[in-house]
Structure 1
Amino acid sequence: MTPDLFGRHRAVLPDWLALYYEDPLEITHGEGRHVWDAAGNKYLDFFGGILTTMTAHALPEVAKAVGEQAGRILHSSTLYLNRPMVELAERVACLSGIPDARVFFTTSGTEANDTALLLATAYRRSNTILAMRNSYHGRSFSAVGVTGNRGWSPTSLSPLQTLYVHGGVRTRGPYAHLDDREFTDACVDDLKDLLGHTRAPAALIAEPVQGVGGFTSPPDGLYAAFREVLHERGILWIADEVQTGWGRTGEHFWGWQAHGQNGPPDIVTFAKGIGNGMSVGGVVARAEIMNCLDANSISTFGGTQVTMAAGLANLAYLLKHDLQGNARRVGGLLLERLRSVAARVPHVREVRGRGLMIGIELTRPGTDEAAPEAASAVLEEARAGGLLIGKGGGHDTSALRIAPPMSLTVAEAEEGAAILERALRSV
């Protein structure tokens, strides 16, 4: 990137708008699992625009659908019938697993979660929300109010009363020493105790795998156990699938299905990957919940024709080519390869994840103390080696986040792992 563009960026955009790298990167184009910068350097992309390029960069099927729709009409708002929106809503409703499902489209995951919170609080007549520690749900005022990650929560002010529940991070906290069954039981007891000290909350909002939190997750079945407790009290379950949806975890199409023993969530939110880079988010809920609002509402840009065309083409490609299965197979190989590498790197505390959603937590050797400087160093070294990755975590951004497009090949996984090995050994 030219220094001139960086200077212009700093002159007109907020200081809190984060940029990766000491020398920030301008990405000019991409193809498949690769992108190029303004200097012509080629990179293997293991972050996909924050898990948004789900299938591939410049996917011909999506590009064609967008071009053809743009040649007809780009946008008309939800005040008019919209065939692509109806068609995508039908497919998402069917895939959601929610009976009598209704779908509302937004422009982002933040807006989707904001809508879910509105629906839950209106339906339950309560502004109390349960959320998970170390969670992240978006940038809006209400979404920040239910975010349990201090690094991404710039204000304590909120329209909601939020109570934070334990369980989203398996290997840290007071229950980390327990086995999975004992861990789940302890978290359920903690939830019951919390509910005994508050008026009935509207909902629990939870990411099946915490994204910004560093790809952490509880034992399978924890949210099913929570659901039993919530259901007895009429409290809704909102599954934030903005990062985990569409088969990225490999084993399941939705992250909640690892906890689905007691049926689907009451509300599911989604975004990111479905548009493959286009601004698509949304909410799925049972009709009685979705229809509970007693005032008019529209969306100017949610569900616009061109983004719906992209979503339809992208979803069709994902299902036709079984990218969920590819995420399971290639992601499993990549995870084992990285664990083998990590066993020889003192800074690595844990390699975790499932499918093509993998986190590497770095600490100071021999301790559980976060090492954000090591994470930043690995990020820089990986870029120098031709690989783009992300970072996150609830402990001073000390986790590396790996989430390539779901069409990643075995050869590309091996290439990326080799670059990561060199970068990790460099610290």
Structure 2
Amino acid sequence: AMEAAGVLVDGPYLERLRTEFAARIEQVLREVEKAAGRPVNVASTKQLGAFLYDDLKLPVPHETEKGGRSTDEEALTVLAASHAVPRLVLDWREITKLQSTYVEALLAKRDPSDGRVRTRYDQAGTVTGRLSSSEPNLQNIPIRTPLGRRIRRAFVAAPGHVLVSADYSQIDLRVLAHLSGDKALCTAFEAGGDVHARTASEVFGVPLEKVDKEMRRRAKAVNFGVVYGQTGFGLSHALGISQAEAQEFIKGYFARYSGVKAWIDRTMKDAKSSGRVSTLLGRVRRLPELSAKNPRMRMGAERMAVNTPIQGGSADIIKKAMVDLHVELVKGKRAGKMILQVHDELVFEVPKGEAAALAAWAKGMMERALPLKVPVVVDVKAGADWDDMEPLR
């Protein structure tokens, strides 16, 4: 039903965006030439590297896996402090990516008969159990940058309708709390409020009101790092701190959340014994690489052993919710239709006067889909397009 419904896309807006982005790309290339003093082929990593490292003699932030001089996003971000060209190249990459991957693709896939774009959802498209989307992929529409959010603005409601978004709040961490039964983590969710600030308070041993932005940033990184099986090296990289500092922070985290550490150890032990892990509803993932001789393969499988029950559990919850919601929608008990699923978020197209009622109903159904040991929270908002939405109470 969701595939058949599709989502309305504002074609004229995308056409204007295409023209604007094309002009901006040309402008950036002119600025690169002016800053460099000569033409530079920014599409060629080899030529770009030669200009940055041979001509400008800039220091190499890090090498590629094959030992070459990197010109990836991370390297260019570091170099942007020393010269204008790296920042301009980053701008060029972002705009050309948005233009080709999103603007052009959405215009090409837009059905001229009704202006809607219809994606394909694959139940078995990911190893963790999450749905995947293709032709086009509507699950990776950018949100982190102002330019990226302008792509979201193209997804609109039909006349007389609004879009309603229902998004699970920190569902992976809530599943981790449920699986591990860690008392401190469960208490943090039961208390409500900012769980990352509460984690910072616990780990740094300071009152909640004394937690600063940096403390919260570190706590958030380690909270999600645990979910994704991040190492001390990975955390040091993410936070820009030494590996020793990162390791110390992880140690402090596990000292405070000992139930999480015990669950990870138990999960790893069981996975190595059985060669598999499973999710809340019993979806099995086999991990033969746990016994691989190659250390990198083995470590990757160990991360998957921890990550799969968490992400897979989150996938179980939203898919169960989608079935529950669909059953009621097809009976005609609610006005509106489900048109998008993006990881932890569902988007509905609803008659204007029904938005608040549908949002409250969807929120309740989603929060009750699979009860956990901690409260499940869904944030709802509504608006004329996918970018400009206001929270609903």
Highest Rg: 1 or 2? 2
Work out whether the TM-score is over 0.5.
no
TM-score norm. by structure 2 comes to 0.27
TM-score (norm: length of structure 1) = 0.26
